[in-house]
C-alpha cells in the first residue's frame, strides 16, 4: 500500500471514543481503538476488542490523545471521517469539515447536547493532530432526510416548526450499513430493529427510510438502556413542577437515569437483567420487548406489510432471548423463528414457514463512515 491511503473513522459517544483505521477497499479494519468511561473516573483503553489500559480519561480531548498514541503509522492517514449525530435540516449528505461547517454544527448543539459537543471537540482535535488531512462529517440523521412530511412533522405551533422542531431520526449510519450489506437481499418492505444502548426501529421501503421511532432527539421511541423512549409530555411538565427540576436536571434524568436502569433499579445492561430473578428486572425486559414489538407492528402498517426484519446492535445481535420474545409478540404478522437458528445467532433465524424473513446482522459504523467519506472524495 502506498503512503497516505488509509482512512480513519471517528465515532464519538457521550462517554466513549472509537478510532478505526481502514483500507480504502473496506476489506478490513487494520486496527480498532476505543476509549470507554470518559469522564467517569477510571476509563479503559481497548485495542481490537481487548482492554490494554485502565486510566483516568478526563474528557474527549484526553481520550483522543490516549488513542492517537496507539495509532500505528499515523502519517499514512489520508482521510478522516467523523460520525456526527445531528445534521439538522441542512446536512443531508456528508460534508468536508471547514470552519463554516464547524460553525453550523456548533449551532446544532442544543439539538444534541450529549453528543454534539464532544464530537466537535474531537473534530477540532483531529484538525490539530492531522493538519492538511481532509476530514468529513458523516451524519447519523442523513439516512432519514427523505422522511415524508406526514412522518417528520409534529403537530405543534408553526413557530416551533419554523425553528426546526421536527422528526429527524437517528442510527442512520447503522441503517445505511445494513442496507449496503443486504444489497439485493433487501426486500421492499423491511424493518431495521437496532437494539443496543440506544434503540430504534426504522421502516425501509425499497431501500429508503419512510419512518423511524427516534424523532427530534434520540430520546423518542423505544425503551433504551438509560432513555425511556416515548412518554407523555404532560408527565414531564408535571415532574418538573413537582420536583422543581431545572431543564439541565430533567435532561440528565431523561438521558442518563431512565430506561432499563430506571425500571430495574440497578442496571442498564440487558445481560444483567436476563440473569436476574428480580421482579423489577423481569418487568424491564418485558416492557423493552413489548415496546419494540409494538413499534414493528406500527411500522408494518406504515409499510403496508412487512417482509423482512433485521436485528442489529449489541442486544439485537447477541440476545436470543430478546429476539425470541419480540418475534413471539409479532406472530400475528406471520413472524416465526427457528429456535435452534436463533440460539446459534445464525444470520437468518426465521422458520421455514415464516411469512417474514428475520435476520441478525452485525453493523460496523466505522466501515460505513469510511464508505461515505470515500464517496464524498469521489464526488469531489
Q: Determine contact, residues 11/369, Cβ cutoff 8 Å.
A: yes
So what's the pLDDT on residue 2? 41
d(CA 51, CA 97): 32
d(CA 262, CA 254): 10
So what's the pLDDT on residue 5? 82
So what's the pLDDT on residue 41? 79
Q: Determine contact, residues 117/132, Cβ cutoff 8 Å.
A: no
Does residue 357 sit in helix, strand or coil? Answer: strand
**pLDDT tens per residue, the chain (380 residues)?**
345 689 999 999 888 999 999 988 877 899 999 999 998 878 999 999 999 999 999 999 999 999 999 999 999 999 999 999 999 989 999 999 999 999 999 999 888 887 899 999 999 999 999 999 999 999 999 999 999 999 999 999 999 999 999 999 999 999 999 999 999 999 999 999 999 999 999 999 999 999 999 999 999 999 999 999 999 999 999 999 999 999 999 999 999 999 999 999 999 999 999 999 899 999 999 999 999 999 999 999 999 999 999 999 999 999 999 999 999 999 999 999 999 999 999 999 999 999 999 999 999 999 999 999 999 988 87
C-alpha radius of gyration, the chain, whole number: 21
- H or E element that contains 358: strand 357-360
What is the chain's length? 380
HSE-up (13 A, CA, CB side) for residue 69: 10
Domains of the chain as residue ranges with CATH: 6-139 (3.30.420.40), 184-360 (3.30.420.40)
What's the distance, Cα to Cα, between the start and end of the chain in Å? 23
Ordered DSSP codes for 30-98: EEEEEEESTTSSSEEEEETTEEEEEE---SHHHHHHHHHTT-TTGGGEEEEEEEES--TTT-SS-EE--
Does residue 228 sit in helix, strand or coil? Answer: coil
Model confidence, pTM: 0.93
Q: Determine contact, residues 46/36, Cβ cutoff 8 Å.
A: yes
d(CA 296, CA 109): 31
d(CA 117, CA 328): 41
Ordered DSSP codes for 312-352: EHHHHHH-HHHHHHHHHHTGGGT--B-HHHHHTT-SB-B-T
Which of 62, 49, 53, 68 has the alpha carbon at shortest distance from 15? 62
Q: Which three cell numbers stand for residue 171?
A: 442510527
Q: Which of 20, 140, 177, 211 is the catalytic position?
A: 140
| 272 classed as catalytic | no
Q: Determine contact, residues 16/373, Cβ cutoff 8 Å.
A: no
Amino acid at each position: 500500500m502506498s503512503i497516505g491511503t488509509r482512512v480513519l473513522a471517528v465515532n464519538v459517544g457521550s462517554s466513549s471514543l472509537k478510532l478505526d483505521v481502514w483500507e480504502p477497499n473496506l476489506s478490513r479494519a487494520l486496527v480498532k481503538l476505543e476509549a470507554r468511561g470518559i469522564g467517569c473516573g477510571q476509563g479503559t483503553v481497548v485495542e481490537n476488542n481487548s482492554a490494554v489500559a485502565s486510566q483516568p480519561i478526563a474528557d474527549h480531548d484526553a481520550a483522543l490523545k490516549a488513542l492517537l498514541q496507539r495509532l500505528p503509522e499515523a502519517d499514512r492517514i489520508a482521510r478522516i471521517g467523523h460520525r456526527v449525530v445531528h445534521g439538522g435540516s441542512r446536512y443531508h449528505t456528508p460534508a468536508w469539515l471547514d470552519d463554516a461547517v464547524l460553525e453550523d454544527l456548533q449551532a446544532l448543539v442544543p439539538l444534541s447536547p450529549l453528543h454534539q459537543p464532544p464530537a466537535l471537540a474531537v473534530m477540532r482535535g483531529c484538525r490539530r493532530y492531522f493538519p492538511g488531512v481532509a476530514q468529513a462529517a458523516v451524519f447519523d440523521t442523513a439516512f432519514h432526510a427523505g422522511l415524508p412530511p406526514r412522518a417528520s412533522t409534529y403537530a405543534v405551533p408553526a413557530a416551533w416548526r419554523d425553528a426546526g422542531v421536527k422528526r429527524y431520526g437517528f442510527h442512520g449510519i447503522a441503517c445505511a450499513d445494513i442496507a449496503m450489506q443486504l444489497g439485493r437481499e433487501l426486500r421492499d418492505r423491511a424493518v431495521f430493529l437496532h437494539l443496543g444502548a440506544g434503540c430504534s426501529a426504522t421502516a425501509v421501503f425499497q431501500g429508503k427510510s419512510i419512518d423511524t421511532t427516534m424523532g427530534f432527539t434520540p430520546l423518542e421511541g423505544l425503551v433504551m438502556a438509560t432513555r425511556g423512549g416515548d412518554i407523555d409530555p404532560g408527565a414531564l411538565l408535571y415532574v418538573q413542577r413537582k420536583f422543581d427540576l431545572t431543564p439541565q436536571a430533567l435532561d440528565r434524568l431523561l438521558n442518563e437515569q431512565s430506561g432499563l436502569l430506571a425500571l430495574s433499579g440497578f442496571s442498564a445492561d440487558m445481560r444483567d437483567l436476563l440473569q436476574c430473578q428480580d421482579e423489577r428486572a423481569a418487568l424491564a425486559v418485558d416492557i423493552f420487548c413489548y415496546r419494540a414489538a409494538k413499534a414493528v407492528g406500527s411500522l408494518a402498517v406504515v409499510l403496508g406489510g412487512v417482509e423482512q426484519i433485521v436485528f442489529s446492535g449489541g442486544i439485537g445481535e447477541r440476545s436470543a432471548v430478546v429476539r425470541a420474545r419480540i418475534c413471539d409478540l409479532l406472530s400475528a404478522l406471520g413472524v416465526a423463528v427457528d429456535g435452534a437458528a436463533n440460539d446459534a445467532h445464525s444470520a437468518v433465524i426465521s422458520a421455514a414457514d415464516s411469512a417474514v424473513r428475520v435476520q441478525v446482522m452485525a453493523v460496523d459504523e466505522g466501515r460505513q463512515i469510511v464508505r461515505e467519506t470515500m464517496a464524498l472524495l469521489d464526488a469531489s
